Structure 1
Amino acid sequence: MTTKLTTLLVVVYFLGFASSFAVPSIFISGARAKNGQGEYKSPSSSSSSSQSLKPLLATAAKANEGFLTVSRSSSNSSEYQLSYRVVRPMSLSSNQAAPIVTLHGGPSVPSNYLYPLEQIVPYRSIVFWDQLGCGKSDQPQDLSQYSTEDSVQDLILLLQKLGVRRFHLYGQSYGGILAFEFLKYLAESSEDFDFQCLSCILSSAPTNVKEIEQEADRLIGVLQQDNPDATPLELGDLFRLNHQCRVGPDMPPILKEAYDNAGTVWRGTDAIQDYVATAPTSADASRMPSTLIMRGEHDFVSAESVEGWKSVFNTKFLRYKTLEGCSHHGMLEAGAQYGEIVDSYFGEYD
């Protein structure tokens, strides 16, 4: 396996798109892949879960949509509009079931692939938003306008605009990295914020980006050994069907739509290639909230790449959960089970 092809696969399967690469059909074609045992078959639980989501998604819950104005400091101070969507807005201030604030992956894979949360967690208000550079949010071409630190500040502004006081935080893939950096910022800040994060879930989020590149390289090598005659197209599909989303042969439409509409500026592992999570350094740092670390059994975000969260969260209340038969997108592979885990965990901290 060449380094170039390995990098392409890592970029796509961690961050979710490759529309401008030389071989984009590898990643979004949904072609039927074969291995030594014949056609790939997704786990029965995954297939049934995907099918069960279809009628639910057809009857979406009531939602309010709007835009948040954010600014960036540069030689030319600029303002941008970020799109948000609040599902079940009447429950946003509930004292019994606090809302979920979501952080999508990428950077720059829009939030709509997380929308099934509103069906598998059917009673809570849920806040979705597209970070700068993707979806319905503005997409400036100046790379200097993008950073994880800026997104942390954007999230603070969004919570203040919506008047959210108590909430649970959910981050998927890169969104989990952003969630941690947000919680770390709050823990180290001397500012008295008028909101409280009750608990957090990090889903398929690594502590070290280079580690998942190495893991993807290993997994690709295994696939090549098992399928020596596989073309790049077939190898790409095999990686997706084994380690990204085990619903096949076609990618779930909601996920494909997100990938097809991903941002074009701040994206790929290059955007966060040096990221390594570090613990709060301030001696006065407040305790971070209880957190659940989730990943799929076949996820390219390996057990080793999430183990490090234990050493960087300054709380003893950290749990791990592996979803059997799932990979990187457990919500789309085992929706009912995934929803039960999310709602049950957050329910402990309402």
Structure 2
Amino acid sequence: MASSSRNAMMYCHPFWVSIFNPTKEYIQFDPGFVVYWSKEVRHNLNYLVDPRGNKIVIRIGQTSVPENFFCGGYEIASFYKFKENYFVAIKYLGNRVFDLRIFDTDMTEIQYPAPKNPTHVHPEIPLPRFFNCFNVKLSIQQESITLADAFSRFWGPTFASDNFEMIDPVGNIHQIIISRGFLHMRFITKGIPQFIKYYDIKNDHVLRLTYMGDNKFIVRIFDLAGDEITYITKSTDECSTTMESNDENPFYFSTEKTLTEYDIRSSSLYLDAQFADVALVKSQKIYNLSNENGDLWECNIRWSNRSGMGCYITQGWNQFCIDNGVEAGNKVMFGVDKNRSRTIHVLIT
């Protein structure tokens, strides 16, 4: 039995990086940070918490704080005894708390001091996972996009191919090519004009890209004021997703099946490619089936040898049916959350 996937939702927020000067009270971020903060955080008083639980208070959005800055630079310099410039990376965790990571100019993470007054420490996010979600500007005048420097640095070496997919919240899939530039830099070099035409984008927007592994990104599109566009499904595929405001929706990606007698008696169940390709990660072979009560059954996923032919839930499926009294004729909805975690939620009707 595995734990719930809800904690994985912390990774949906983008990271932000700035150069920290220890002689300055204010730390400046990209103008998009304030737009993001005003839409998704909105608290003036916030906390930076490093991997060892040290907590520093910062202020954002108050009249005394310049636009695109937050106040707290002196506190950071004093606590960490900084005398030189560093890179500061933050990622919102919820409840007014930002994860804080600090790097020297070579992007080597510092050793954090032990806290004087230990408090609850949130689980440390591995650095590649910390840097998997970011915002980039989509300019209608350009045919390429430069990916975030930190993302390229930590994820670029893992790329085995230049061919990637961007998948929007309702399952529309867009083919792109990501090319390598100087040193570790990565660029989307093909697919952007087609992407702009598909959504009929007339002016500059912001893309929020979340890398899910397996050469797939979840893409969300915002205007420069921070409002997300309305997505439209342009196919009749059975796979569907929802756009509920609750980011913890366990059926963000979903598909329905009416089970046959064969499905119940068999040791495996087929899942169509329209759902599997956007909701599941091919490198992840072990998943958990979760019923309405949150009870979990470990299962295996076996992908078809033929491209685009979906996959099978194997070991664990039959036991799930027995324990939950599943019968032929039952309509079953399978769902996976927005982060494509390893839990497949099952709703039986």
| TM-score interval, smaller chain | under 0.3
Structure number with larger C-alpha Rg: 2
Higher relative contact order (CA 8 A, sep 6+): 1
Give TM-score, length-normalised by structure 2. Answer: 0.23
More strand by share: 2
